[in-house]
Structure 1
Amino acid sequence: MGTTEEPTVRLLTADGERVGHPGYQVTADAERLRGLYRDMVLARRVDAEGVRLQRQGELALWPSLLGQEAAQVGSARAVRDGDHVFPSYRDHAVALCRGLPPMDVFTMYRGVHHGGWHPARHDFHLYTLVIGAQTLHATGYAMGMAAEGAGGAVIVYFGDGATSQGDFNEALNFAAVYQAPVVFFCQNNQWAISAPVHRQTRAPIHRRADGFGLPGVRVDGNDVLACLAVTEAALERARRGHGPTLIEAETYRMGAHTTSDDPSRYRTSAEEDQWRRRDPIARLRTHLEREAHADAGFFAAVDADAERAALDIRAAVRGMPDPPVEHMFSHVYADAHPLVEEERAWFADYQSSFAAAERTPA
């Protein structure tokens, strides 16, 4: 559990009650609220399908976002055209909000390509599995945008564990010194695999900003409206040339770190139950019902749409042909590389030796 004495931005209580905040507001009519709810439900169902497909041997790995829907959807819906996103490896809801085809993510975790989609098509960079490395990539990209007068901003996603990496601290320093238009969005889900957040830092993560000379803010990461409001303000500040912001969204990873992890070995069911009562989707649904912004028909339709999307993904994954084995040598480098070509030729000879053996009479 993170510390509780620091002020936390909250616009929607755990009971679904809308509250005000002196520093942050958000414009959210009934239509926008329903859209945020739809985004979170779709993300949760697509994510659950990823877990199921991996368990059935259809995917090599799957890092679940369960419990972090509000942090991802709220922040992603603050991104505008001209901004650029640098994700980590479980930011599937962000990918969906940016319009990335779900199968681009699923084919990566099935291992049929090198994890590539064209970042410029959706202003959404490739998933980064090297912990914390994307913070430096994002900072450099933001510095380049500022130098070119591009006018947009960058947002980079990472977890609490990444804040222990040198890359993260170097990125904060570069961003502050050069006033780079970048927002650092930390999803503090309380666990860096099996290491609790109190083993990562003695101070709240957002307070790291103080030492580097940039503002830091902590937000209720299970409150989609607060995440939206805080990220909108930070991105607008960056676009106006006022430099970076560090956001700490306090949330919880309800599932395993990845499908190769067993969280029951290091955390208690009581802790999970405590956070389950703060479920971000249930919170917004309660608010929608209380304010009569949605009825049973709306919720049923959203669930049905999410189920259809998941079934479409299942069919597409299971029907996906294996790529030619020699494709593993493609796109390793931007240009042809003599060592890769040498390895490609060796592997081709190796494969042909089996065919030759089959043709040789016994």
Structure 2
Amino acid sequence: MTRDPDHLLPSDRPVTLMDHRGVAVEGAAHAMPAPEALLTAFAALVTGRRINDQAYALVRQGRLAVYPSSHGQEACQVAAAQVLADGDWLFPTYRDTVAAVARGVDPVEVLVLLKGDWHSGYDPSEHHVAPQATPLATQLLHAVGVAHAARLRGEPTVVMAMCGDGATSEGDFHEALNFAAVFRAPVVFFVQNNEYAISVPLARQSVAPSLAHKGIGYGVPGERVDGNDTAALLAVLGTAVDRARAGEGPQLVEAHTYRMQAHTNADDATRYRQDDEVAAWVERDPVTRLEAYLCEHDLLDDERLAAFAADAEEVAAAMRVGLSEDVTPDPADLFAHVYAVPTPQLVEQAALVADEVAREGGH
């Protein structure tokens, strides 16, 4: 098969439809999404920001063990979920709580994993959202497998495979791209380049012109997009999903964004970046940017803003209640899900523990 190398090259600059002030860019490569789509995205942005803030508070209260915030990256989260059809699949990372919620998953069910519960918290098949993956890039191979299987069955499924810039340094990332390209799997590889893999800056990970250029070696077209521009994300990711659904194979999309808060609550970001660097990104906040655009075009007023904020607060309140409930562990669960047919040793160990619990009066 002959391939045009120019078709694989991403744009010289990240695609932008509105600048950091919320002003529409003239001569943009993509049309501005419909007002209804932008309002839907803005409501999800407001909720996503509130989820991030509430989760951080729950960590400080001891109700969550850890939380990797996507504060500042909510536009990527919301757009990734919004461009998918009901039958499509989302494969999130540990930082993609807001994306899973935007896909329809109960935030409490998403976050019990970070509370230390024994299961992922939600049924992946219900909303077509895979369990959040902590190991870098492992979920990309799973995403390609789901997409390849759907293609073999003749289903119109598209898979959104999310990862961060650090994941592009892992072997699984390259294996996933190569397999998807060879078998034309309907996958959109969505890299949220937030400038740091924990404490390692992008410059120490890659000297490629962009992470989107990494698709060239596998025959996967790449694109770059302003990761804090919700409109541009909806346009670029939407186009990539349409291409994949039409049988044109995978695409790699790199969103240029920034992790405003620490890697997790256990991280001290001041050890590897300066406050003025963070401050420069505050002006590019995706929430205030889209709000400015919507207000300027008379699509958003104080009443609707208040309604969105009230909806977000309801979600936060439900998180506080749901994640504050203490769960009494059942020792039998240690053995219930190890093997489909328990081994003799496991049966013996389970009986021993049950006997010890019984002799302690069930405690």
Indicate whether the TM-score tops 0.5.
yes
**What is residue 37 of structure 1 aligned with on the other side?**
42
**What is residue 95 of structure 2 aligned with on the other side?**
90
| Number of equivalent positions | 351
**What is residue 221 of structure 1 aligned with on the other side?**
227
Structure 2 regions of 5+ residues with no counterpart?
A: 1-10
**What is residue 168 of structure 2 aligned with on the other side?**
163
**What is residue 21 of structure 2 aligned with on the other side?**
15
1:22 positional shift: 5.4
1:53-87 deviation line (CA, Å, top 9, x unaligned): 11111111111111100111112110012211111
Question: 2:97–2:111: 8 Å Cα contact kept in structure 1?
Answer: no
Structure 2 counterpart of 1:186, from 173, 187, 191: 191
2: CA distance, partners of 1:12 / 1:169:
32
Q: 1:329 to 1:187 in 2, by over 3 A?
A: farther
**What is residue 106 of structure 1 aligned with on the other side?**
111
Question: 1:217–1:246: 8 Å Cα contact kept in structure 2?
Answer: yes
**What is residue 214 of structure 2 aligned with on the other side?**
208
Q: Would you say 1:73 and 2:62 are equivalent positions?
A: no
Q: Would you say 1:326 and 2:352 are equivalent positions?
A: no
Q: Would you say 1:28 and 2:34 are equivalent positions?
A: yes
Counterpart of 1:317 in 2: which secondary structure? Answer: helix
1:211-265 deviation line (CA, Å, top 9, x unaligned): 1111000100000111111111111111111100000011011111112111111
Structure 2 counterpart of 1:316, from 322, 332, 348: 322
1:343 positional shift: 4.1
Question: 1:153–1:182: 8 Å Cα contact kept in structure 2?
Answer: yes
Q: 1:56 to 1:116 in 2, by over 3 A?
A: closer
**What is residue 52 of structure 2 aligned with on the other side?**
47
Return 216-225 or 57-66, whichever deviates more: 57-66
Question: 1:134–1:156: 8 Å Cα contact kept in structure 2?
Answer: yes
The residue identity in structure 2 corresponding to 1:242 is E
2: CA distance, partners of 1:69 / 1:251:
10
2: CA distance, partners of 1:349 / 1:202:
60
1:294-328 deviation line (CA, Å, top 9, x unaligned): 11122122222212221221022112433323324
Q: 1:14 to 1:22 in 2, by over 3 A?
A: closer
**What is residue 136 of structure 1 aligned with on the other side?**
141
Counterpart of 2:188 in 1: which secondary structure? Answer: strand
Return 301-310 or 65-74, whichever deviates more: 301-310
2: CA distance, partners of 1:108 / 1:159:
20
2: CA distance, partners of 1:325 / 1:115:
18
1:341 positional shift: 4.1
What do you get for the CA RMSD once the two structures are aligned? 1.9
The residue identity in structure 2 corresponding to 1:235 is V
Question: 1:221–1:250: 8 Å Cα contact kept in structure 2?
Answer: yes
Counterpart of 2:224 in 1: which secondary structure? Answer: strand
**What is residue 152 of structure 2 aligned with on the other side?**
147
Q: 1:20 to 1:144 in 2, by over 3 A?
A: farther
**What is residue 68 of structure 2 aligned with on the other side?**
63
1:67-112 deviation line (CA, Å, top 9, x unaligned): 1001111121100122111111111121112111111112222122
2: CA distance, partners of 1:225 / 1:254:
20
**What is residue 251 of structure 2 aligned with on the other side?**
245
1:350 positional shift: 4.3
TM value normalised by structure 1: 0.92
1:313-354 deviation line (CA, Å, top 9, x unaligned): 102211243332332433345x23425545433433444454
Question: 1:112–1:323: 8 Å Cα contact kept in structure 2?
Answer: no
Report sequence identity in percent.
Answer: 42
Question: 2:52–2:69: 8 Å Cα contact kept in structure 1?
Answer: yes
Q: 1:329 to 1:63 in 2, by over 3 A?
A: farther
Q: Would you say 1:257 and 2:263 are equivalent positions?
A: yes
Counterpart of 1:325 in 2: which secondary structure? Answer: coil
**What is residue 289 of structure 2 aligned with on the other side?**
283
